[in-house]
Amino acid sequence: MADKDLGIDTIVTDYHGRENGNQNKSERDDFRSGSSSNVFERYINLVAIVNFGFTLQAGWETVGLTFQFALFNGGPASLVYGCILAGIGSTAIATSLGEMASMDPTVGAQYRWSARFAQKWPEFWGLMQGWITVFAWIVNVGGSLSVLSNMVQGLVIFHNETYEPKRWHATMFMWAFIVAPVLCNLFLRRVLNTLETIGGICHVLFFIVVIATLSTLADRSTPEFVFQTLTTDVSGWSNPGVAWSLGLLTTVFPITSFDGVLHMIDETKEPRKRVPKSMFLSVTLNAIMQLGFCICLLFCIGDFEKVSASQLPLVEVYYGATKSKAGATIMVLMHGIIFLVSLFNIFASVSRLVWAFARDKGLPFHNFFTYVHPTLQIPLPALFLVGFICGLLSLINIGSTVAFTALVSLPTIALYISYFIPIFLLMLRKLAGKHPQYGPWRLGKWGLPINLFSLCYIVFVLIWIPFPPSRPVTAASMNYAGPLVLAVIAFALLDWFTTGKKRFTVPTGAIVIEMEDEVGGKRSPSSDA
């Protein structure tokens, strides 16, 4: 896993690892990301791509804006120990995906790898994975919009107790928040390196300010409350294990989207080294900051009953510490600022993913969605498609009282499924002794144990995240995240059996395999067959 300089040669291979010596240098360069041509400029440097993943997850900011999930299921114990489990599990997954990114850096990421690592039916696995990953990332945008909308409504209620929030209000707020990241993606690409650096600095600086303020001004909870309190039967789920597991959504969701940097590979310099490093560092640092924030938050939570009754518990925690509505609002807005940077990054990432899937004819009307503006260097149709679908997703608020839960659960479930498939297929290849040639980011003897732990952790999360947040379960309080994911899988199967298997082109373009200088200074190619 060390990221050291290697003595390497490059050799062009096709999808099955066969050597192709007939490619010239320009053609080899075109195939570095698995695409038929490089339409994007490589301009993102190491600092920017690390900060891109670092701020995209916005771990401590997100857990602050969503920790109400754990107040009713699991309580403090679910927050503290859930942070530890989520941090270890997410780091293992990010490390596994980083190994794949080092082998085959490509915008398509999970769907490309599922097709490449599958020992049978690569076309089927590629198309299925493509639909799941695209859906996961689009609803990830919806989840982020929902968090911001809930933050705004909570602040309005905090300053105006006579305000009566309506379901459609949340939808309108979400629509408003779609506009800003779309416009930023159109016009701020050239300053992305600077923007990501500023975002990363603010991400850390705001963390220090919040921790220092709470630690200095807030009343203290007891260590027993922070580390030993397990909340049960508040939501109707009385079993302690079930209640604790349901509270995991608060700690799992914020550090889930570490694969967002993969979709920026075509615009990143030296992606084989930098992208895996970005994923590993971003998820590790966010997990540590998230755990530190949760412990500080619980020690400084103040009036627990008042906090738990609020639509935005975070503002009540800050108000209890500062005794100032203006101060509490400013501290909440620190979360919102980084969340907006995160939303900008998510829009950039998912628009590239949609473009890549369309390039491989995974989407209907694929020719339209592969267009990249020659000056802006932005896949405009893909970007606008993401915004349009998220606008439709926001309508869920009008029909359900727990839309917030569903919109946060949806991306978690779908993304974890998208992580499971390529890791599982790669592990089968390793067990069969048919693993692809490793890149500079490698797990060595720890590869299989880390892959296996990642799969077990993913299965555990997938069991609990779709559960309804409360009992008794009604049509209005049902968590529809699980059924919606199953509907997408059914749609993908239908697409495969109708036109998909004829339309979809498995991303089998030639790739550059890096060959390490091993024995006696000789370099030899390794087959992916």
Q: How many CB atoms lie within 10 A of CB 258?
A: 29
> What is the C-alpha separation between 438 and 13, in angstroms, rounded?
14
CA atoms within 13 A on the CB side of 188: 16
Residue 523 lies in a domain: no
- Concatenating the DSSP letter of every residue in 93-122 gives HHHHHHHHHHHS--TTTHHHHHHHH-SS-H
What are the distances in angstroms from CA 344 to CA 145, 186, 259, 284, 351? 11, 10, 15, 21, 11
* pLDDT computed for residue 49 by the predictor: 83
Q: Which residues contact 209 (CB under 8 A, 6 or more apart)?
A: 331, 334
Residue 504 lies in a domain: no
The pLDDT profile of the chain, 529 residues, written as one tens digit per residue, is 433 333 333 333 343 333 333 334 433 333 333 333 446 677 777 788 888 888 888 889 999 998 888 888 888 999 999 999 999 999 999 999 999 988 888 888 888 888 888 888 888 999 999 999 999 888 888 888 888 888 999 999 999 888 888 888 888 888 998 988 888 888 877 777 788 888 889 999 999 999 999 999 998 999 999 999 888 878 778 888 888 988 888 899 888 888 888 888 888 888 888 889 888 999 999 999 999 999 999 999 988 888 888 888 999 999 999 999 999 999 999 999 998 888 888 888 888 899 989 988 888 888 888 888 888 888 889 999 999 988 888 887 776 656 666 777 888 898 999 999 999 999 998 888 887 788 888 888 888 999 999 999 999 999 988 888 778 877 767 777 888 889 999 999 999 999 888 888 876 544 443 333 333 333 333 333 3
Dihedral class, residue 439 (left if φ above 0, else alpha if ψ from -120 to 50, else beta): beta
* pLDDT computed for residue 454 by the predictor: 95
What are the distances in angstroms from CA 500 to CA 138, 361, 421, 463? 20, 9, 19, 30
What is the DSSP code (8-state) at residue 267?
Answer: G
pLDDT in tens, 157-190: 999 888 888 888 888 888 998 988 888 888 877 7
Tell me how many domains the chain contains: 1
Is cis: bond before 472, omega within 30 of 0? yes
What are the distances in angstroms from CA 484 to CA 69, 272, 396? 20, 35, 12
Q: How far does CA 303 lie from the centroid of its chain?
A: 33
Residue 439 lies in a domain: yes
What are the distances in angstroms from CA 164 to CA 158, 161, 226? 12, 8, 33
Q: Which residues contact 180 (CB under 8 A, 6 or more apart)?
A: 340, 343, 344
First to last CA, the chain: 24
* pLDDT computed for residue 371 by the predictor: 87
H or E segment and range at residue 514: strand 511-516
> What is the C-alpha separation between 529 and 436, in angstroms, rounded?
8
Q: CA nearest 64: which of 344, 228, 286, 280? A: 286
Token pair 């200095």 is at which residue?
Answer: 216
CATH code for the domain of 320? 1.20.1740.10
| pTM for the model | 0.83
Dihedral class, residue 433 (left if φ above 0, else alpha if ψ from -120 to 50, else beta): left
Asked if 76 and 385 count as a contact pair (C-beta separation under 8 A), the reply is no
Residue 11 lies in a domain: no
Residue 526 lies in a domain: no
> What is the C-alpha separation between 288 and 279, in angstroms, rounded?
14
Report the amino acid identity of residue 417. Answer: I
Asked if 386 and 394 count as a contact pair (C-beta separation under 8 A), the reply is no
Residue 9 lies in a domain: no
What is the DSSP code (8-state) at residue 259?
Answer: G
pLDDT in tens, 18-73: 333 333 443 333 333 333 344 667 777 778 888 888 888 888 999 999 888 888 88
3-class DSSP assignment, residue 509: coil
Residue 14 lies in a domain: no
Q: How many CB atoms lie within 10 A of CB 388?
A: 12
* pLDDT computed for residue 18 by the predictor: 35
> What is the C-alpha separation between 256 and 263, in angstroms, rounded?
15
Residue 25 lies in a domain: no
Asked if 429 and 119 count as a contact pair (C-beta separation under 8 A), the reply is yes
Can you give the residue range of the structural domain that contains 237?
40-488
Asked if 420 and 117 count as a contact pair (C-beta separation under 8 A), the reply is no
